[in-house]
Amino acid sequence: MPAKRTTKTATTASHTDPADAINEDLGRRVKKLRSDRNWSLEELASTSGVSRSMLSEIERQRANPTLSVTYRIAQAFGLSLQDLIESANSASTIQTIRANERTQIFRSDKQCQIRTLSPLNLEKDVEFYELRLPRGGVLKSQPHIDGTREFLTVEEGSIDLQSGNSAETLTKGDSATYRADVPHTIANTGKSEAVAFLVVIYR
């Protein structure tokens, strides 16, 4: 919800100092990113190393945080400094995720590696992942929120897909869409690593 403005502020809005505009945008972005992750101020403070009081002032657009503070907040969200402070009205509309960005690795163990290919600020809206499952690797997921669907495309290997009581075998080039608000499993049944791309859409 936009902050309430007085008549005096409204009449001078067109002359807003660029630094003030950046701070206002930063406050809104931090609050939204925290809300999207269902984090409390205390949780963000613990993750970022920035005090709760400072975070509160930033979200209320009453603080002028240093570059160091802003960088720590960006790191907490897994974003670059530029991504965090970039204005919604910025000339650049491209968000880039580099192949070597370790913050994008969502999970990596003996069962699978999951790399996030979509910007982290879109979490719980549309999520895009690269899945790599070694031979015998299995990704078991509990039901997501009602109405959630997933779209899976196999790039390499063979995958057994199960959604609720339905099952299908997919091989290279195959795609499937299925309910993700029921228990669902993606398993590598081939003789080599399986690579797939997964899109999760929430309602």
Map out the domains of the chain as residue ranges. Answer: 17-85, 102-201
Indicate if the pLDDT at residue 135 is higher than 60. yes
pLDDT of residue 13 exceeding 70, the answer is no
For range 25-45, the mean pLDDT: 87
Tokens of 164: 């609720």
d(CA 179, CA 144): 9
Query: pLDDT band for position 120 (50/70/90)?
Result: low
Q: What pLDDT is stored for residue 123 in this prediction?
A: 64
pLDDT at 11 over 60: no
Q: Is 116 within 8 Å of 160 (Cβ atoms)?
A: no
The pLDDT of residue 177 is 97
> Could you give the CA distance from residue 17 to residue 180 in angstroms, rounded to a whole number?
47
Q: Which residues contact 113 (CB under 8 A, 6 or more apart)?
A: 105, 107, 131, 132
CATH (residue range 102-201):
2.60.120.10
Contact (CB, 8 A) for 25 and 82: no
Tens-digit pLDDT profile for residues 48-65: 999 999 999 998 888 888
Higher pLDDT, 89 or 186: 186
Percent of the chain with pLDDT strictly greater than 90: 52
In this predicted structure, what is the pLDDT of residue 15?
44
CATH number of 17-85: 1.10.260.40
- pLDDT for 61 equals 85
Q: Give the model's confidence band at 16: pLDDT under 50 very low, under 70 low, under 90 confident, else very high.
A: very low
Please write down the HEC assignment for all residues of the chain. Answer: CCCCCCHHHHHCHHHCCHHHHHHHHHHHHHHHHHHHCCCCHHHHHHHHCCCHHHHHHHHCCCCCCCHHHHHHHHHHCCCCHHHHHCCCCCCCCCCCCCCCCHHHEEEECCCCEEEECCCHHHCCCEEEEEEEECCCCEEEECCCCCCCEEEEEEEECEEEEEECCEEEEEECCCEEEEECCCCEEEEECCCCCEEEEEEEECC
- Residue 93 pLDDT: 59
Query: Is it true that 17-85 and 102-201 share their CATH fold?
Result: no
pLDDT for residue 18: 52
Radius of gyration of the chain (CA): 21
pLDDT score at 23:
75
